[in-house]
Chains A and B, each alone.
Chain A
């Protein structure tokens, strides 16, 4: 039995005319790291909200089908039960930061306070989580004095500290520099290795290819494709539907037409591209 199980999930917000999620079927195994990608308006954030229980418990609206996490049905749970298992880092960290705390340290401790974790354990867990995401030096800063990328790290840390069994991340690196992005992917991969199940919405194709186990391509509320990162990320269908793809894939596709790329498989990462262009029969270097 999959850890996350969506069966024929269709969902409409209270004020929209058409469903945002249309008959979604999705299974995620425990400890699996899934990347969700898709154009704006595909339903990615709504999918995150459905995983985190905000859809439909907070947003209301009309839902059909069944959402299960760890064998528990969303329809039979309350939001406060649900969030003990599932943590969501919002797309915009500004919307997540509580506004009730003066320092980053307190902000990260906020969730633990709310579930009554003893003071000493709380301190240790906050320290540990901050070390994991590399933000110890921000501990005494105000959450509002941080740059966008730093705020995103704080938002991620405040979820990781709760040790959810399912971690849902909605574009967690959108405001980060490349090193920050790589580190976040690394941390998330590590969490998955330790058994945490991860669903991450991301546009950064090269890092998805490096780190994720499986990719779901979402389009207009439906699953367009799913499979191994390399298969999905190099599919001709993606650019046609407005998905962002790796520059390595698009340059190799064009090179293929000019006879400069002779491999069957298109590349997603730098290494794959370099290998493909230099290997026998590929385009040569000069």
Chain B
């Protein structure tokens, strides 16, 4: 399912102009990372995809739906959104109820709900926590519950808002694995992140936002190599890209394997 954004503008009631004319299209099955400085408009942009925010001008299309004409509840069948802060999202007494809430509300049959919940719990490694109260889990695992509850809705488009914030290396690897699995299933994954190394290792396309506008948009290697332009939105290229540049490697390298191959 494609996403089409045409000259999207958004001004908050306070008068803050957060998006100043954004046009983008995302094809079904693409893995896109959105980067940019704090306040660049990243969260404001993705909150238009599921109708949490409505355009002040311009339009956002999810497949054949114009988001301004559909409710958040309706859009939830097409776009899953994992909040930056899991505590804004979780409300159930136990993990199982929390994860089953979404697919139940989409009106799926019990068998389908059970199957979706089971798959979401196993992807997020929460199989043995079904009876736990989410608030008795550490913030790390609360994040995984938030991920599971969205994955269980089986939407064609999934949005993660800073999924790796405050996560350790083991959990970042778990989250990368979830994203890889969603990719295999042909889902569109859109992720906001400040973790540029995570971005380089897991996403094929990168969009850099700056002050409510698209600064760069293209394949990860092309975008992440543009050190000077990225600096305008306070983004540093990945560590190994910077190292490769400093060593005078000809090609832009974005991961360990590429770096070592270029050295040989």
- Contact (Cβ within 8 A) B249 A285: yes
- Contact (Cβ within 8 A) A177 B38: yes
Taking the nearest CB of chain A, how far is it from the CB of B55, in angstroms?
19
Question: Which of A38, A150, A176 has the most chain B CB atoms inside 10 A of its CB?
Answer: A176
A285 CA to B245 CA in the complex, in Å? 10
Q: Please tell me if B98 contacts chain A, counting CB pairs below 8 Å.
A: no
Taking the nearest CB of chain B, how far is it from the CB of A256, in angstroms?
11
Question: Which of B37, B140, B250 has the most chain A CB atoms inside 10 A of its CB?
Answer: B37
Q: Please tell me if A178 contacts chain B, counting CB pairs below 8 Å.
A: yes
- Contact (Cβ within 8 A) A41 B260: no
Q: Please tell me if A27 contacts chain B, counting CB pairs below 8 Å.
A: no
A63 CA to B62 CA in the complex, in Å? 54
Q: Please tell me if A65 contacts chain B, counting CB pairs below 8 Å.
A: no
- Contact (Cβ within 8 A) A41 B140: yes
Taking the nearest CB of chain B, how far is it from the CB of A240, in angstroms?
11
Interfacial residues of chain B within 93-113, with CB under 8 A of chain A in the complex: none
Question: Which of A15, A39, A147 has the most chain B CB atoms inside 10 A of its CB?
Answer: A147
- Contact (Cβ within 8 A) B37 A179: yes
CB-based A-B contact count at 8 angstroms: 127
Interface size class on chain A is 35 or more
Interfacial residues of chain A within 262-286, with CB under 8 A of chain B in the complex: 270, 273-274, 277-278, 283-286
Q: Please tell me if A120 contacts chain B, counting CB pairs below 8 Å.
A: no
A258 CA to B256 CA in the complex, in Å? 13
Using CB atoms, name the residue of chain B closest to A267: B243
Interfacial residues of chain B within 201-258, with CB under 8 A of chain A in the complex: 233-236, 238-240, 242-243, 246-250, 256
- Contact (Cβ within 8 A) A244 B262: no
Taking the nearest CB of chain A, how far is it from the CB of B250, in angstroms?
7
Residues of B within 8 A of A248 (CB): 239-240, 243
- Contact (Cβ within 8 A) A177 B260: no
A214 CA to B101 CA in the complex, in Å? 46
User: Given A244-B172, A247-B238, A248-B239, A178–B247 Cβ distance below 8 Å?
Assistant: no
- Contact (Cβ within 8 A) A179 B234: yes
User: Given A150-B39, A260-B263, A270–B194 Cβ distance below 8 Å?
Assistant: no
Interfacial residues of chain A within 83-114, with CB under 8 A of chain B in the complex: 91-92, 94
Using CB atoms, name the residue of chain B closest to A258: B260
Taking the nearest CB of chain B, how far is it from the CB of A284, in angstroms?
8
Using CB atoms, name the residue of chain B closest to A175: B165
Give 18 CB contacts A-B under 8 Å.
Answer: A41-B138, A146-B39, A147-B39, A148-B85, A148-B162, A171-B166, A174-B166, A177-B37, A178-B196, A179-B37, A245-B169, A258-B264, A260-B264, A270-B239, A270-B246, A277-B247, A285-B247, A286-B250
Q: Which residues of B are interface residues toward A (Cβ below 8 A)?
A: 12, 14, 16, 36-39, 43, 84-85, 87, 136, 138-140, 162, 165-172, 194, 196-197, 233-236, 238-240, 242-243, 246-250, 256, 259-260, 262-264
**Interface contacts beyond A248-B239, A258-B260: sample of 5 additional A-B pairs, CB < 8 Å, sorted by A:** A92-B87, A145-B16, A149-B38, A178-B234, A206-B239
Q: Which 8 A-B pairs have the closest CB atoms?
A: A149-B38, A244-B169, A179-B234, A40-B140, A247-B239, A285-B247, A39-B168, A274-B246
